[in-house]
Amino acid sequence: MSDNTEFDPFNQPAEGAQGEPADAVPGGDVLDGIDLDTELDDLFDDADMELSEDETDEAVQVYESGSTYVNPLDVGLQDKMWVPVRITTAAFKEKHTPRLSSKVCLAVKVDPESGKKRVYVPFEQVEAQIAAGATEVIREHELPYFICEANHVAPKYGQRRYPYEIEVPALTIKTALFKQNRSGRTGYKNEDGRSLRMAAGATQPGEAVNLKTMPVIAKRMEDKIVMAQITLSTKNKPRPRLDANNQPVTVLVNPETGAPVTVFAAQKQNDEDPQVYIYNDESGSFYEGNEKLLVHIKDQVYAIADSSENSGALMEDQVQTTDYLKTKFMPVPERKIEVELYDPEADVDAEPVVAKGEITWDTVGAITLNKAPGVPVDVVLGSGAGKRIGQTITAVWLGTQWNEQPPKTEDGQGGGLDEFASAKNL
């Protein structure tokens, strides 16, 4: 890519061409003439070891990460909610196919004299060249990408067990629609990469974004906090059922299908009748084994505990919810605000007390898109709060200012959004 307007993904080695062969690694336990079984101390005998570094003024970063979670529902995460996340690592990859690969729309223009192809990738260039007669090509292709990892900032959520993975195109591209619509529209403007750059403050208006600057831009994103939207995915996944000793429960299975052999409990006419179990097959025969071997599955259906060669693990469905980040990002809203404090004993004619405060990381997501009237946030009070400095209160946006949410009465009436229900009309 010579600049930030064009890129030639078709300029690849000819089919069958080979690059430089990699150095072969010898088999066994010998590498570069060193016996890997030798004692570590022997490897360093008579070796010059570099034991110096230049001190910098860069601060050492230490963060309170909190507990890790497996189920996002356990910490209160909800679908479509906005949360602050810190980008822990950010890298640039010149040619990358995302894990959830999708086709892109490219504009290909051929010089009639030389026959040389020029391929355009950025959305605006693609649209302009197609309008000027270039050919639109829709295909999966490796493109420049930002690859990042991120995790929560808000103490309320702790840390995701595995960091969020972020993959966004470094340029604004035209991603192909899954199915072309009737209007003939083939793709949409994918600004995910730009939203991440802007949210992290990694670029400035007018700055060129090209192969030369992209690695630098990625580096600027590290340690930055951005707002991201949560999306939840819930699936049923089979897992072995465990007994009281945390061991898999094994049951008799059909050797042909591998499915558990099951019986069902026939309906009793009265409590004095013995319980009868019938095999769940076409035979309609009765189960005459030990009732203590029956393992309840659901309703009136049971499997038969067994540990012979005809047994297998009894599987059960586990509901698993996983949280992901949508790939549109927003900058962190202004957290430093002024809030009018609530004082039920204040004189009617008295000037209201206005204090400075800072919205908590736990609740700043509520104003990511806009400060809608009636939206509440938690605020740590600062200067102007007198003896209440450091106290955390709930404040509500009234359309023109932040006001402390009055506490509810003992009967649960009043306070907060009940009193400000009409604020949306302000």
What digits encode the pLDDT tens for the residues 175-211?
999 887 778 899 999 999 999 999 999 999 999 999 9
**CB of 176 within 8 A of CB of 190?**
no
Please name which of 283, 18, 8 lies closest in space to residue 119, comparing C-alpha atoms. Answer: 8
**Which region among 170-174, 227-231, 316-320, 422-426 has the lowest average model confidence (pLDDT)?**
422-426
Q: Tokens 């034991």 map to which residue? A: 51
Tell me, what's the pLDDT at 35? Answer: 47
User: Within 13 A of 62's CA, how many CA atoms are on the CB side?
Assistant: 1
**CB of 172 within 8 A of CB of 125?**
no
Strands 187-190 and 117-120: unpaired
Tell me, what's the pLDDT at 16? Answer: 43
**CB of 403 within 8 A of CB of 394?**
no
**Considering just the CA atoms, what is the radius of gyration of the chain in Å?**
32
* pLDDT at residue 377 is higher than 60: yes
Predicted model pTM = 0.72
d(CA 2, CA 69): 45
Summarize the confidence of residues 404-415 as an average pLDDT.
68
Tell me, what's the pLDDT at 409? Answer: 62
Q: Is 9 exposed, middle or buried (0-12, 13-18, 19+ CB in 10 A)?
A: middle
Alpha-carbon dihedral sign for residues 198, 201, 207, 209: negative
d(CA 214, CA 219): 9
Summarize the confidence of residues 283-290 as an average pLDDT.
90
- Encode pLDDT of 238-274 as tens digits: 889 999 899 999 999 998 888 999 999 998 888 788 8
pLDDT band per the 50, 70, 90 thresholds, residue 40: very low
pLDDT band per the 50, 70, 90 thresholds, residue 318: confident
Beta pairing partners, 93: 145
Beta pairing partners, 358: 336, 380
The amino acid sitting at 398 is L
Summarize the confidence of residues 71-84 as an average pLDDT.
96
* pLDDT at residue 14 is higher than 50: no
Summarize the confidence of residues 55-83 as an average pLDDT.
85
pLDDT band per the 50, 70, 90 thresholds, residue 348: confident
